[in-house]
Chain A
Amino acid sequence: GAVVSQHPSWVICKSGTSVKIECRSLDFQATTMFWYRQFPKQSLMLMATSNEGSKATYEQGVEKDKFLINHASLTLSTLTVTSAHPEDSSFYICSAERGEQETQYFGPGTRLLVL
């Protein structure tokens, strides 16, 4: 199969702190990973595309200095929410693409609550 993990699964932090979320492809190499955000009872909204060894591509309206993405290896991408505020509270989900023209496999998500 294609397994994607995320860590942590949930995090509670104070306003103003930074939070790092890791996304790993456990049994395959992923040159491309994606970061999504999902509010309660809403759809998945693509935040950015993370490419191994290059800068991430951010969707319109997503602040790249707010949501730092690093894809340092073929199995790991990280999303850092800098200076988090309550409005950043959400469910963050990553996905990894296995090879070209392949399906996206989703991680289990990280629930972030900023107090």
Chain B
Amino acid sequence: GENVEQHPSTLSVQEGDSAVIKCTYSDSASNYFPWYKQELGKRPQLIIDIRSNVGEKKDQRIAVTLNKTAKHFSLHITETQPEDSAVYFCAASIGGGYNKLIFGAGTRLAVHP
């Protein structure tokens, strides 16, 4: 079946450093790639998303890049802050639509003051 691989599983950085999380997907028909942040015991919150007709998108300290040829997309967080500490999930749409999502395994990000 279709899958999304996410790396690393854990990431520890110092406050102010950048963090990069990478995902690869298998479905060549995937065209929507959201990233979610989940704090312990809480719901996933969308932080940024990108569609297949765009190669890069930025929102303040957060950016996402997409390489459709390589089936690869990445999340970049700059100037990290302790409140960025959470689990981050990438996801990819499957089946050619936009709504059915397959999630990566998650990356636990720890930002140390």
Q: Please determine whether B43 and A109 come into contact, CB atoms closer than 8 angstroms.
A: yes
List A contacts of B41 (CB < 8 A): 109
B67, CB-defined interface residue at 8 Å? no
Q: How many residues of A contact B (CB 8 A)?
A: 21
The proximity string for B residues 42-85 relative to A, scoring 1 for CB distances below 8 Å and 0 otherwise, is: 11111001000000000000000000000000000000000000
Which of the candidate stretches A14-22, A65-73, A80-88, A93-101 sits at the interface with the other chain? A93-101
Instruction: Report B63 CB to chain A, min CB distance, Å.
Output: 18
B19, CB-defined interface residue at 8 Å? no
Q: With contacts A97-B99, A101-B98, A104-B99 known, is A44 near B45, CB below 8 A?
A: no
B89, CB-defined interface residue at 8 Å? yes
Q: Please determine whether A107 and B99 come into contact, CB atoms closer than 8 angstroms.
A: no
Q: Please determine whether A103 and B43 come into contact, CB atoms closer than 8 angstroms.
A: no
B113, CB-defined interface residue at 8 Å? no
Chain A interface residues (CB < 8 Å from chain B): 32, 34, 42-46, 49, 60, 93, 97, 100-109
Name 6 extra pairs, CB < 8 A, besides A42-B106, A45-B103, A46-B101: A46-B102, A100-B98, A102-B99, A103-B46, A108-B43, A109-B43
